[in-house]
Amino acid sequence: MVELISNFGFLAVIYLVLNIIAFAAYGLDKTKASLNKWRVPEKTLLILAFFGPFGAYAGMLVFRHKTQKKPFTWAVPLFMLIHLILIGIFIFF
């Protein structure tokens, strides 16, 4: 039982870090866009959103970034839904 809690804590920290990285990447890309500098590729942002959808969504809202781009308007909420389902399965089953 203790090992399960320990593993869960480790996974929770990893998941939190992935979401923070996604959030930061959206902020970095927004900053770079406003300065007309090198940008984070959209493919990279979507990959980060797949692994950290809550951070990506928060980044979209906080930085008002990629909120009009079609792939982001449907993919990020879809990734969040998938993660919520997986988290529910992990917790309850």
pLDDT at 2: 57
- In this predicted model, what pLDDT tens digit does every residue of 34-73 receive, in sequence order? 999 999 999 999 999 999 999 999 999 999 999 999 999 9
Evaluate if pTM is beyond 0.85.
yes
pLDDT at 9: 86
- In this predicted model, what pLDDT tens digit does every residue of 11-34 receive, in sequence order? 899 999 999 999 999 999 999 999
Residue 93: CB partners within 8 Å, gap ≥ 6? none
Exposed, middle or buried, 69 (CB in 10 Å: 0-12/13-18/19+)? middle
pLDDT at 8: 80
Domain span at 86: 2-92
Least confident of 48-52, 53-57, 74-78, 87-91: 87-91
Q: What is the mean pLDDT of residues 78-88?
A: 97
Q: How many domains does the chain have?
A: 1
